[in-house]
Amino acid sequence: MRSLIDILDLSITELDELMNTAIDIEQHPERYRSACAGKKLATLFFEPSTRTRLSFEAAMYELGGNVLTMSGESSSTTKGESIADTAKVISCYADIIAIRHPKEGSALVAAKNARIPIINAGDGGHCHPTQTLADLLTIRREKGRFEFLTVGLCGDLKYGRTVHSLIEALSRYEGIRFVLISPKELRLPEYVKTEIIEKNGLSFSEVSSLEDALPELDLLYMTRIQRERFDSLETYERLKDSYILTPEKLTLAREDCCILHPLPRVNEISVAVDDDPRACYFKQVENGKRMRMALILKLLREAEKPEKEKLGEGFLLEGRHCLNPRCISHTEQELPSLFKKTAGGVCRCVWCESAVG
């Protein structure tokens, strides 16, 4: 079953297709008004949300579908029910699930147990791939490209799941340079630096001064300091106002610098910045709903394909088969030889994950 757990679950081609669909939805909403008639989206939110939850729900209604919604406090998880069982049960009621949960990996557990597509709407401080869909469409519209951009990410890079997913997505494009602006306690996790940025041959610098970084940036992605992820309230209080973007500081930025923020903001962008034409964070919100519409459509259509086609989450390589003699593809009847390309550019068998020459 095709789900969206990590932004790398979608190829660059699929991201382009989703963006094209989102723009078509904006231009021709009437074409989509009954696209999901008879279908139900379940939104399971075990953490607070304004944008993600309501945009998913608005998206499903605008596609002609219905919504079942449940918050953590009202669910039987409060009695000890597992995410795995919850996902199995909701598969009996809905056609697709969007889940947000404070534990990292929770959406993947749901996907392994559900019979319907799962969308990760944020798993702890790990990933937030549908925010990245909103970010990417905004970048495409504002900058017209993804390649050769200098991207500043500022604030809580340690716990900021939107940052991790955006870096994963942008690391697949040529010539991206990341400027990581944070206090030393909130630096980007090592695995994102080594296994994503460096593995893709891209460069990054780590700095603590927003003012020093601003003049070179094509994009500035501001983030909230994630109070809910801190063990110590004292540390949060010390770091919470590390960066505040004001109109005065913005005079240091380029005329075409695009200012993004996944929202909610607390204090990190002054309200006076909102009127600056470079402020694009409310455009991200609009783009988010349409990208979620495009995603729901795609996952529901793929869920309707016959099982044999659904297994095809990879591509065929003319005349090539997996080289691993222990791979199931050599013995299982009618299992196609399918391959996928990893972020590091290695071609792997979809089934056993061994590298292909």
Respond yes or no: is residue 330 known to be catalytic.
no
In terms of CB distance, is 51 or 193 closer to ligand CP?
Answer: 51
3-state secondary structure of 54: helix
Choices 14-22, 34-42, 171-179, 261-269 (CB under 6 A): range interacting with ligand CP: 261-269
Q: Are 109 and 137 in contact (CB under 8 A)?
A: no
Among the listed residues 29, 33, 37, 50, the single contact to ligand CP using CB under 6 A: 50
Peptide bond into 264 cis (omega under 30): yes
Q: Half-sphere exposure of residue 186, counting CA atoms within 13 Å on the CB side?
A: 31
Q: How far is the CB of 45 from ligand CP (least distance, A)?
A: 8
The C-alpha angle with vertex 11 and arms to 5 and 284, in degrees rounded to 5, equals 70
Residue 262 touches ligand CP, criterion: CB under 6 A: yes
Alpha-carbon span 252 to 267, nearest angstrom? 20
Q: Taking CB under 6 A as the rule, does residue 228 contact ligand CP? A: no
Least Å from the CB of residue 288 to ligand CP: 8
223 near ligand CP, judged by CB under 6 A: no
DSSP state of 193: I
- In whole angstroms, give the CA distance from residue 326 to residue 323: 9
Query: Cβ 119 to ligand CP, closest distance in Å?
Result: 13
Instruction: Compute the least distance from the CB of residue 283 to ligand CP, in Å.
Output: 13
The answer to whether residue 205 forms part of the interface with ligand CP (CB under 6 A) is: no
How do beta strands 96-101 and 66-71 pair?
unpaired
Indicate which single residue of 263, 280, 300, 327 sits in contact with ligand CP (rule: CB under 6 A): 263
Helices and strands: H and E segment counts in the chain: 12, 11
Catalytically annotated residue among 28, 79, 184, 326: 79
**By CB under 6 A, is residue 337 in contact with ligand CP?**
no
Closest to ligand CP by CB, 263 or 350: 263
Which of 21, 43, 52, 130 is the catalytic position? 52
79 catalytic? Reply is: yes
Q: Cα separation of 182 and 201, whole Å?
A: 22
Residue with smaller CB distance to ligand CP, 39 or 51: 51
Running DSSP on this structure, what letter comes out for residue 216? Answer: G
Catalytic-labelled residue, pool 2, 39, 51, 289: 51
DSSP reduced 3-state for 276: coil
Query: Site residues for ligand CP, window 103-162 (CB under 6 A)?
Result: 122, 131
Instruction: Answer left, alpha or beta for residue 147, where phi above 0 means left and psi between -120 and 50 means alpha.
Output: beta
Chain residues binding ligand CP by CB under 6 A are 49-52, 122, 131, 262-264
List residues with catalytic annotation: 51-52, 79, 100, 128
